[in-house]
Amino acid sequence: MNNKTNYEYLLSDLSILKGVGKKTKNLLKKKNINTLFDLLWRLPKSSIDRSLSSKLKDLKIGDTQTVTVIPRKYNFPRVRKLPNRVSCIDDTGEIDCIFFNSYEGYIKKILPLGKEITISGKIGYFRNKYQITNPKYISENSALIKKVHNKYSLTDGVSEKIYNKILNQIISNLPNFSEWHSENIMSKFQNISWNSSIKELHKTENIGNYKSNFYQRLAFDEIFSTFLVNSEIRKKIKKVKKKNKQINIKKQNSIIENLNFSLTIDQKKSLNEINKDLGSSNKMFRLLQGDVGSGKTIVSLLAALNTINSGFQVAFMAPTEILARQHFNLAKKIFTHNLNLELISGKSEYKKKKEILLKLATNKIDIIFGTHAIFQKKVIFKKLGLIIIDEQHKFGVSQRKKLSDKGGIDCDVLLMTATPIPRTLTMTIYGDMDISIIREKPKNRKPIKTYSKLEAKIDDVLKYINKEIKLGNQIFWVCPLIEESKKLDHTSAVKKFEFLKKKFPNQVSLLHGKTNLEEKNLILNNFLKNKFKILVSTTIIEVGIDFPNANVIVIENANKFGLSQLHQLRGRVGRGDKDSTCILMFKSNLSENAKKRIKILKASNDGFLISEEDMKLRGFGDILGFKQSGIKNFKLADPIHNNDLFLLAEKEMRRIEKANEDIGKFKPLIKLYDRADIINDIV
């Protein structure tokens, strides 16, 4: 292992192994296998037993068998297409080895006349004689062949033999690490070491043995390393000393008193947590997590107020302009005293933009609202004290970390998301932040009634809509795709728009991915002003827009959406105090799975619970598009089946945090398992 440390050896390039040339290396690279460590997670799928050898007289045609024979005669025909042949014997009979496309020199080398050679392969029978065609397992050393050979799902061009050869080299040279886990944790896995666990993992008889101690230990390693890295990032950000903000409770309360509702307990609790962070001399890096419509915006605006009171500025970023404008309008409404609020929009004139930039640079703006444009290089703040970011659950850990660096030392960071995730995943996905959760919905919310309807019964739906429109209400009609695609059999928004327009003249508008930004803003604003009644769209309308007058949502082809997504779509209605309805439409009779999903949606309006169910039905990775966010996929661990390991890892991590334990001993673990890009400056 030269001078490399144990983990460095495992992170070496595959080419240090015997039998890995450029070709094999490149083939494996295509599968994202670059290091020895990467290869360890390709598990055997099955095995083939080549350990028992037979005498030639006992061979079974069609079986894979191992024989030890003596090559007696070469037959190399000079005619192309005819194979080369080596006739071999043992003391009971005769067998031919047949080679297509192998050179004479090579054949002579692997099957020298008169020497005892062990061969394994599938036994054929041709012209009254046994034969093995293109045998891959040939050796003078019978021990190399007479054993159980693992089968892997192979990368094209890498043979099973080569695969086993390189893997065996790694496994027989596995470094021994000093144990990184505490005694308590180790006792849960019967003290099996990492090294032994890997060895067990690759034993054929252990295929699929998910409950075994070695499997669980390795899954735990993986989960724990992720949590640990996240925890270190969090600690590191919090260590940054900042100038603390002065919380003016009186001022805050005067705003709260003027609202036409009272804050929920969870809103108050979250606000207190945020205020505590703002008032401390450590940098805040906090996530405010709460279901659609749970009222995060008001909480964040009150945090903004407290920041401004200390002479700082606030940047409030939303994913789209319309959402930024909505927040801006709300702020103007609730902050009746003299605050300087501005909205920077793509439409703002050059002169206006320049003026805003100048004002920001001289601290003449208290809160600036906008899209990511407010973080462009040319935007300079005089005294930025808080960054609020709405609906950015798809930001990955590295993106968030960059963000926290951006605002400078005195700048706190508050992220908001309306994407509840299963409890087990919280540490995996958001473990680098402190988290405040709003679980409770405002009291005036009525549950959204959810129904399912076959498309054939669309007339019932139209009748219902007609009635709602007469009452002055508005309707969302969601279709999965932009244009009709025969292959995908999706309902087309365009077609539906044409259809509904005939039924409800001058009452329908259409929004889809190809609608340009200006038009989109115009349509949404008109919908907000109740200028038309039905908005047909694909799923592009972002979570978060408040249309209090819309109380019906029709979702076509509901089968195409996951549970969490349906719940989020549904959350576009039911924000005011009206009765609201969600109609899920289906093309054909419901499958058992679909029935199960609808039952869950009908029974619950709790995004957290629904996300748990969604994960159970669809598996991790697929839910809510977290894949795009750089959330890594686990190699062995599975949030559904290893729920207990996730909880155990969290508990252990909290213990280590609390005891302020040195994490130096975890260095190999973190280096091996984790994302070098974000951990370089941690261990």
**Nearer to ligand ADP (CB atom), residue 285 or residue 547:** 547
Rounded to 5 degrees, what angle do the CA atoms 205, 210, 215 make?
85
Is 297 a binding residue for ligand ADP by CB under 6 A? The answer is yes
Q: Cα(585)–Cα(556) distance, rounded to whole angstroms?
A: 5
Window 255 to 274, contacts with ligand ADP (CB under 6 A): 261, 263-264, 267
Is 293 a binding residue for ligand ADP by CB under 6 A? The answer is yes
**Nearer to ligand ADP (CB atom), residue 544 or residue 668:** 544
**Nearer to ligand ADP (CB atom), residue 174 or residue 437:** 437
Closest approach, Cβ 541 to ligand ADP, in A, equals 13
Is 71 a binding residue for Mg ion by CB under 5 A? The answer is no
Closest approach, Cβ 392 to ligand ADP, in A, equals 12
615: amino acid identity, one letter: M
**Nearer to ligand ADP (CB atom), residue 247 or residue 299:** 299
Residue 467, token pair as written in the block: 């009635």
Window 533 to 562, contacts with ligand ADP (CB under 6 A): 544, 546
SS3 content of the chain, % helix, strand, coil (to 5): 40, 20, 40
Closest approach, Cβ 570 to ligand ADP, in A, equals 13
Q: Cα(649)–Cα(530) distance, rounded to whole angstroms?
A: 51
Q: x/- contact string, 559-578, with ligand ADP (CB under 6 A)? A: ----------------x---
**164-172, 291-299, 343-351, 664-672 -> range binding ligand ADP (CB under 6 A):** 291-299
- Which residue has its beta carbon closest to Mg ion? 544
Q: Cα(402)–Cα(178) distance, rounded to whole angstroms?
A: 34
Contact present, 335 and 368 (Cβ < 8 Å): no
Closest approach, Cβ 549 to ligand ADP, in A, equals 11
Closest approach, Cβ 223 to ligand ADP, in A, equals 30
How many chain residues interact with Mg ion (CB under 5 A)?
Answer: 1
- Most distant CA atoms of the chain, gap in Å: 104
3 state DSSP class of 54: coil
| 294 interface partner picked from ligand ADP, Mg ion, none, CB below 5 to 8 A per type | ligand ADP
Contact present, 455 and 586 (Cβ < 8 Å): yes
The candidate with the shortest Cα–Cα distance to 117, out of 147, 95, 141, is: 141
Contact present, 360 and 384 (Cβ < 8 Å): no
For ligand ADP, which residue of 356, 418, 425, 610 counts as binding (CB under 6 A)? 418
Window 441 to 480, contacts with ligand ADP (CB under 6 A): 442, 444
Q: Cα(137)–Cα(156) distance, rounded to whole angstroms?
A: 19
Closest approach, Cβ 326 to ligand ADP, in A, equals 8
Is 544 a binding residue for Mg ion by CB under 5 A? The answer is yes
Count of other CB atoms within 10 angstroms of residue 223:
27
**Nearer to ligand ADP (CB atom), residue 197 or residue 297:** 297
452 forms bridges with which residues in the sheet? 584
CA dihedral 50, 56, 61, 65 (to 10 degrees): 0
Cβ partners under 8 Å of residue 376, min gap 6: none
Q: Which residues bind ligand ADP (CB under 6 A)?
A: 261, 263-264, 267, 290, 292-298, 418, 442, 444, 544, 546, 575
Q: Which residues bind Mg ion (CB under 5 A)?
A: 544
